[in-house]
Structures are given as structure tokens and as C-alpha cells.
Amino acid sequence: MSFDLSVIPNKNIVLAVTGGIAAYKSAILVRRLKDAGFNVRVVMTHGAQAFITPLTFQALSGNPVHTELLNPEAEAGMGHIELARWADLLLVAPASCDTLAKFAAGLADDLLSTLYLATKSPVWVAPAMNQQMWAAKATQRNLNTLVEDGVHVIMPDAGSQACGDVGLGRMPEPEDLARQVTQYFHRAQRAIAEKFGMLAGKHVVITAGPTREAMDPVRYISNHSTGKMGFALAAACYAAGAKVTLIAGPVSLDTPNGVRRINVTSAVKMLEISMQMLNEGCDIFIATAAVADYRVAEVAEHKIKKTGDELNISLIKNPDIVATIAQQQKRPFMVGFAAETRNVEQYAAGKLVAKKLDMIACNDVSRADIGFASDENAMIVFFAEQYHMQKRDLEKASKQEIAQQLVEAIHDALHHEIEPV
């Protein structure tokens, strides 16, 4: 999966320009932000308009410039609340002493200060002022307040100033500011990709729930599996960008959004559909199903009558679905589950090897607070030896959270350098 990190599409920046000689640099900043692919709308305080005209910013941003809070005409276009919601970032550059003070005090007597209070977006300020004003106790106090309030302060550069002084207070160059903004969105985008795009492009097949083995037309052998873990995994894999097919035994759960569900009843049918999925192309196979180990040797055609005091039914072994898939030549990455009541780790590690799995997640179902019907789970994950990966303890959490961590474990194993064995 690849993201184009060269430009950031469809991100909205409200660039607020306040009164200061550095306002001229903001004109170039608009250009640089547009070059990087951002949508830019400019807000100007009255002070800023003494240095540079709204027309300049209108021409550069391609959007009308916002200057007034109580202007019926402007509010009819994009009102201040709408503008506050539109912003993915409110960037105040240059930020004057007066603006910092207004923000720190929570005033709302002009468009920008109102916007600051009304937006949920991150707020960045790039203070630019005379070095003495920067060093003033009140300015530093206000900056501390803003940092405490979650505002990101871009530190001014040192150097010669328009007023003839030398010191801290120069606004960083537009290229530098644009780069910082772009990097911020790249980081955010990467974090989303890491969280939600880990399985992008993969086809994940998940077996879930119990199987039901018929005895006669009205009776069956089954177990208590609810399918919750498998369904939570299906949702997590879909959220991670995968195409997901859920082969579900009889459970009363809604199909997760975006997931293809194929209902089956018996273990034999579950295996048949699993093999079909392999032919369709499957990258990751996750076996959460509590498959009945045995099925009735001969299913009675008609309802079995209660004739004697005893009834003997002969059972034969069901196929092991996950082990069968793991034996195929073009096998997917195989994930198994093990529910144990004792020697949990030992049995699970044994199944990992015996069934030729890549990863196994096991839990202790003797614990009353987790497992089968519970909404929570706690698991230990083992990886096949060739991955050289440490086992992972997934502490007790909702099945959704456990599912997310299992997706991360699968992703990590898939991207782990497999050394030749």
C-alpha cells in the first residue's frame, strides 16, 4: 500500500494574518501552501490590512478574504462558524502580541478571536514582533497560557528586525512554515495509515461461530461459541483496509459493515467454502470458529424416535479446517485460535506447530471473566519460529480492542523479515 506523500489533498487551512510587517511574508506562504496541495482561506485582522491588502490574498488563495465578524454579506457566503468547521488547521502567521493576548484572554470581539474559540481544529501561531515585545512578561505569560490550552507555537527566528533591533521575533520564512505544516499532515496521514491501512489490499477469510452437526432433521450437536471474536476481527480487518469474507456458523450477530458473509452450518460445509476462498485468492486465513470435532456418522433421514433407555450415536472426526488449508501449496498467512482450560501456553504452542500455523492466539476459557460469551477477552499470541518474534500478551480488553491488536500482530508478522530456515 502506498500513499502519495508529495501533496496533501483536500486539507483546509485557514491562514489568519494579523498586524505586523511580517504580513508580507504571508502572501508567499499562501503560495507555498497552495503548491503543497492545501485549500487556503485567509482571514485578516484590521491591523493586517494596514500592511497588505485583502485583494492580494484573494488573488493568491483563489478565495474571498474574510475580514469582518458582523458583515451580513460575508456571513451569507461562508459564515464564521462554517469557516471554523471548514478548517483542518488554523494557522495564525504572523501572530501579533495583541492577537496572542486576545486568544489567551478568550476575547471574541473580532472575526479571528471568535474563530479561535469556535474551531475544533488544531491552532498554530507564529508570533512575529519586536524583540522587546516578544520578551515582555505579558507576552510570555500569554504564550504559556496558549501552550497550556493546546496551541502549537512556532518559535520566532532571531536576527535583524524591520525596526532596526536585533533579536528574537522574526517570523520564520514561508518555505519553512509550509514545510512544517506539510510535515504535520504527513505525520497525521501516516498515523492513520498505520492504524487503519495495515491490511490494505489483502483478502482476509475468517471462520467464526460454532458449527452445527445434524443428528436428524430436528436435532444437532453444537457448542456455546457466539462468534463475537470472529465478528470483531472481521470488523477490525475491514477497518484496516482489507477485503473480508466471513464464513459464519449459526450465530445471532449482525454482519459488520463492509464484510462479505457466507453462512454455513456444518464443519464439512465450512471447509468446502474455505477451500473455495483459497481458489478465489486469500492472503490471510483466520480460524476463530469453534468447529465441532466430531459429526454424526450417519445422519438419520427421519426424526429419531425414543425407543429404548439408551441411544448410541456413532461420531466420526470432522476435518480440521485450519490444518487442511495450511497444508495447501499456495497457503495464506495462517492464524489459529486456541481456547484452553489448563496448560494454555503449552497446548497453544503445540497447536501452532502441529497445524503448521504462522500465528496462534490463545486464551484461558476457565476464567469466568473472558472468553466464549463474554464481551472481553485476554490472549497470548505466539508466532511460528521462523518469524523470530516474541510472544505477545494482550491484556484483558474488549473483543474489539483485542481484535485491533491481533490485526497489528498479523501486520507485524507479515512485515517481519523472515530469515531462511
User: Under the rule (CB under 6 A), what is the footprint of ligand C5P?
Assistant: 207, 267, 287-289, 291, 318, 320-322, 336-338, 351
Residues with a known catalytic role: 163
Distance in angstroms (rounded) separating the CA atoms of residues 278 and 326: 11
Minimum Å distance from CB 289 to ligand C5P? 5
Minimum Å distance from CB 265 to ligand C5P? 14
Minimum Å distance from CB 272 to ligand C5P? 13
Nearer to ligand C5P, 129 or 284 (CB): 284
Minimum Å distance from CB 296 to ligand C5P? 15
Minimum Å distance from CB 311 to ligand C5P? 25
Whole-angstrom CA distances from 414 to 36, 254, 328, 360, 420 are 33, 29, 19, 14, 15
Which DSSP letter does residue 80 get? Answer: H
CB 294 within 8 A of CB 214: no
* Burial group, residue 419, by CB count within 10 angstroms (0-12, 13-18, 19+): exposed
Give the dihedral sign, CA 47/52/56/57.
negative
Nearer to ligand C5P, 42 or 236 (CB): 236
Strand partners, 208: 248
Minimum Å distance from CB 294 to ligand C5P? 9
Nearer to ligand C5P, 151 or 326 (CB): 326
* Omega within 30 of 0 (cis) for the link into 332: no
- Which conformational region is residue 201 in: left (phi greater than 0), alpha (psi within -120 to 50 degrees), or beta? left
Nearer to ligand C5P, 291 or 407 (CB): 291
Nearer to ligand C5P, 131 or 288 (CB): 288
Strand partners, 380: 362, 393
Nearer to ligand C5P, 142 or 374 (CB): 374
Q: How far apart are the first and last CA of the chain?
A: 28
Which DSSP letter does residue 96 get? Answer: P
CB 135 within 8 A of CB 113: no
CB 46 within 8 A of CB 111: no
